[in-house]
Amino acid sequence: MAPQRIAVIGGVAAGPAAAAQAKRTDPDADVVLFEQGEFISYGACEMPYYIADEYQDAGTLLVLTPEEFEKTRHATVRLRHQVLAIHPKRDRIDIKDVTTGVVREERFDKIILAVGARPRMPEIEGVEALNIFPLRRLDDAIAIKAFLENHPVQHAVVMGGGYIGVEMAESLRERGVRVTILEPFGGLLNKYLDPEMQPFVHEEVAAHGVHIRKEKAEQVEQDADGLVRAVKTDKGEKIGCQLVIVAMGLVPNTDLAKAAGIHIGETGALAVDDQMRTNLPSVWACGDCVEVERVIDRKQVYLPLSPVAYRSGHVAGQNAARRGRGTAARFPGVCMASAVQVFGLEVAAVGLRLEEARKAGFDAVAVQIKGWSRVKIYPGSKPIHIRYVVERKSGRLLGAELIGQEGAALRADVLVPCIREGWTVDAIKDLDLIYAPPLAPSIDPLLRAAHAATKKVGRKG
């Protein structure tokens, strides 16, 4: 049997994971990873901290260079190569060498799309200003840091109050820059937190000198050099600034797939089955360009997070390379778990918010408590605020939000398997959790919240 050729299109997390797993599954396969940029594998979530100077050298963020990847994963890497078109009926792809501009056609038996997503940019006048930056790729982080090091920046505007927005606000404050966040659609982290939990984040951000405006940018004023000098908002305000960061979310890259006849899902991302296969028999997809199943209600969602990209890449790589041998790998769905550091706070969310749960058809209620990270009287103990979202009839835990100065994020991790397996709060309250005064109180906040929730839903507690 002739060796099969497998093209992996895209780098960062999903692409390298898929290429490496494909080569492990079929060591004889000719696996080629195409990346149109300069880097194939780096820590994207570390980029705000690189901008804050926690890391001095961008090279620190590199997970694998192309040379290391080829040596250790035994797949071929082609940097600065853009795939222009897929011809699935002929098993061909059109490839452009970005450096030379030469376009050629190559044959591949299997194709794995890991083309990721692009930043959602505002459609406003002046957005092409030279000092307006998204933060999506390592090139963006390098450009932002270079601008900060070579230009006087007193004030920056951040468009968007999600994870990247608040992380960049903190990074810029670390560099002594005044910051204004524009978040027109509600409170900070509104996609992750219920309104009852958002004030803790607002207070922390404001305490560190960040201004929050519930306004939308409508126009950017530029100076004679093409640099932004002010942002005009829908409330008639003009905010003078020397830097703008766009953190308004992501749009999955689907143009290449659409042109090849690949189906798009309800979320706007590529539709795949649990083997990460598209509707075309020789094409798989993974990472930030696909939608995945939410385990709580089996709904398809778009969740562009690095762990999801990595896991889905492994599944796509194995199934693309297996040639029908053995058991197919399956993607088990997502619980939706994420966390962010907001200055001195850990902010974590798992599962569904109350509004999300009700939109999904659950008769859901919420309960919120204040606990302590350690024994309350132990030096250094910090408050933790926990909010559970629970199905009223069954007592099933549907989601949780945790905010505190310590111990919030890792406690949220404890709840992920509970939500995935459909545990009730009645079962969670009887978990054997650690009690050690310097580490955790005798009744952990997770258990206290579960006790409160059992009473809320009318079950014995």
**Domain coverage including residue 235:** 121-248
Which of 192, 220, 248 lies at the terminal end of a domain, its last residue? 248
Has residue 61 got a pLDDT over 50?
yes
Same domain, 14 and 112: yes
Query: Are residue 14 and residue 110 in the same domain, yes or no?
Result: yes
- Asked if residue 330 is part of any domain, the answer here is no
| End-of-domain residue from the set 321, 351, 373 | 321
| The pLDDT of residue 447 is above 90 | yes
* Same-domain pairing of 145 and 237: yes
Query: For the segment 254-299, what is each residue's pLDDT rounded down to a tens digit?
Result: 999 999 999 999 999 999 999 999 999 999 999 999 999 999 999 9
Residue 406, in any domain of the structure = yes
Asked whether residue 331 is domain-assigned, the answer is no
Whether residues 259 and 140 fall in one domain: no
CATH number for 90: 3.50.50.60
The residue whose two tokens read 């599944």 is 315
Which of helix, strand or coil describes residue 294?
strand
Of the residues 228, 248, 268, the one at which a domain ends? 248
Q: Which pLDDT does position 173 carry in this prediction?
A: 98
pLDDT exceeds 90 at position 458: no
Active site residue 45: yes
Mean pLDDT of 78-98: 97
Count of alpha carbons within 13 angstroms of residue 432, beta-carbon side: 0
C-alpha 265/C-alpha 263 separation (Å) is 7
pLDDT exceeds 50 at position 461: no
In a domain? residue 186: yes
Q: Into how many domains does the chain fold?
A: 3
Instruction: Let me know how long the chain is.
Output: 461
Each residue of 180-222: pLDDT tens digit? 999 998 799 999 999 999 999 999 999 999 999 999 999 999 9
327 in any annotated domain: no
Do 205 and 265 share a domain, yes or no?
no
Residues 261, 311: one domain? Answer: yes
CA distance 62 to 182: 31
Could you tell me if 405 and 382 are in contact, meaning their C-beta atoms sit under 8 angstroms apart? yes
Active-site pick, 45, 286, 289, 418:
45
pLDDT tens profile 232-255: 999 999 999 999 999 999 999 999
